[in-house]
A and B are shown apart, each in its own frame.
Chain A
Amino acid sequence: MAGINHAPPPFFKQGPAPLALLTFYVAISIALFVVDLRFRSLELIRQSISLVVDPVQRVAQTPGSLVDYAASYLQGMRALEKENYDLKHAQLNITPDLQRLAHLEVENERLRKLLAVKEREKAKGQVAQILYTARDPFSRRVVIDKGQQSGIVAGQPAIDEAGVVGQVTRVFPFSAEITLITDKDQAVPVQIVRSGQRSVVFGLGKGQLELRYMPANADVEVGDLLVTSGLDGVYLPGFPVAKVTNIERDSAYSFARIFCVPIAGVENFGELMVLDPRQTLPPAPPEATGRTGDSGTDNAVRVKKKRPARGN
């Protein structure tokens, strides 16, 4: 019986006082919080804990995915036939473009060589499956089934069949975490296809994006397509990102508020493609004083501004 070795409560020896313990643990928690948030130097701890947690999490996700699998298995013959027909139709539709694409690429390469312009990078990548959305309700992230073992590194962009989905932000041994472009303040450098104007689009966290720092009289229209500009060294140029849905021009502010929706099925489950990291860009020329460009250079300037302040 378990009752036999039931010891009486210890009257004098009770370990550290609860308040002392509370202070201790709270101090550690807050230290962890700040260090993880500001310095991001705890990835090793996170990775080692995830080695234990990740398998359990996958097991817990199994019933749901089994139901999904069963549902798709039991899907009617007709639905499959229709899908097959649609896919064939779509393929036939893009065939002329595709057939000419190879030709165009060769021609493009040759012309670029003639003009002595650097060759375009080719997009390569690996297909990954979305395992689940991260449980954290404060951010928009998904977890995919490929990690360090497949050579994924933090910073790689992820796309689906329609456009940019997000960026790998954390890598674990057997999985990786992708921050979606709709996550709050997740930035993607973009270019407006119609006007060629460059800007940066930020996530708003509600399945929407916002094109910031565009002057109130900027040449933007509802329905404009935004593609990656490729200036950041992360995203290859030309991938569709978002479409402008709403523009608020208020003369009281110097910037227009431009809202966009992502083109890719950003918050849907499915498969996506993680693109290989880009070749390293040539080193940036020295900063011109007093002029800031896109986000990348902007950051550098900010850092530079801070330094003298610290010295004082």
Chain B
Amino acid sequence: MQPTFTSSRILLPVRPWFIFLSLAGALLLNFLPTAHWPGVPDWVALVLCFWSVREFRRVGMGWAFVLGILMDVADGAVLGQHCFAYVLLAYTAASLSRRILWFPLAQQALQIMPLLLLCQVVQALMRLVVGADFPGWGYFIGPLVATLLWLPATFILLLPQYQPVEQDPNRPI
């Protein structure tokens, strides 16, 4: 059976301030003390990946770089570690966006998983190569949880773009 383009119902155009707000919110979520719990996803990576897939003309590698450097400073990590991973994530997400959006949500999540995992693995490799301590396998559970969160994240982040329930018959779109 041919897949249909069901996942992309006609939406209102995205508002730039909402993108900014969601990315800032994700950053704040990352700063919460819950970050040490195993399996807590990297919220910035998730939201960044979402916007890179949906709106790659607005959210690109420049955003990824800035968010990355903010995360590096906040983490006390080596500068450039998150930058590199996020830029790579934004690039792959943007280049795969036309394919990913063709699938229904569950399968989208499946395609997002390798990207988020890549983001984490790249960071781990960068640090392990220069002789850091292995953080344990719990570090790689985060992306899997983030994959599960792709569905609710899509719903929440697209909420402002859904059409109003009462349609205007004069403007069918």
Name A residues whose Cβ lies closer than 8 Å to a Cβ of B: 2-3, 6, 9, 14, 18, 21-22, 25-26, 28-37, 42, 45-46, 49-50, 52-53, 56-57, 59-61, 63-64, 132-141, 143, 170, 177, 183-185, 205-206
Contacts and interface: CB of A to CB of B under 8 A. Distances in A.
Given A3-B13, A22-B61, A64-B32, A170 B76 contact: yes
Contacts, number: 129
B27 to A, nearest CB: 7
Interface residues of B, number: 48
A57 B31 contact: yes
Contact of A25 (B35, B64, B124, B136): B64
A50 B72 CA distance: 10
B112 interface: no
Contacts of A22: 61, 87-88, 91
A64 B36 CA distance: 12
A33 B78 contact: yes
B130 A205 contact: no
18 contacts: A2-B15, A22-B88, A25-B64, A28-B83, A29-B65, A29-B83, A32-B83, A49-B70, A56-B27, A57-B31, A60-B32, A133-B36, A136-B77, A138-B124, A138-B128, A138-B135, A140-B133, A141-B76
Contacts of B32: 60-61, 63-64
B12 A3 contact: yes
Interface in B74-106: 74-81, 83-84, 87-88, 91, 94-95
B131 interface: yes
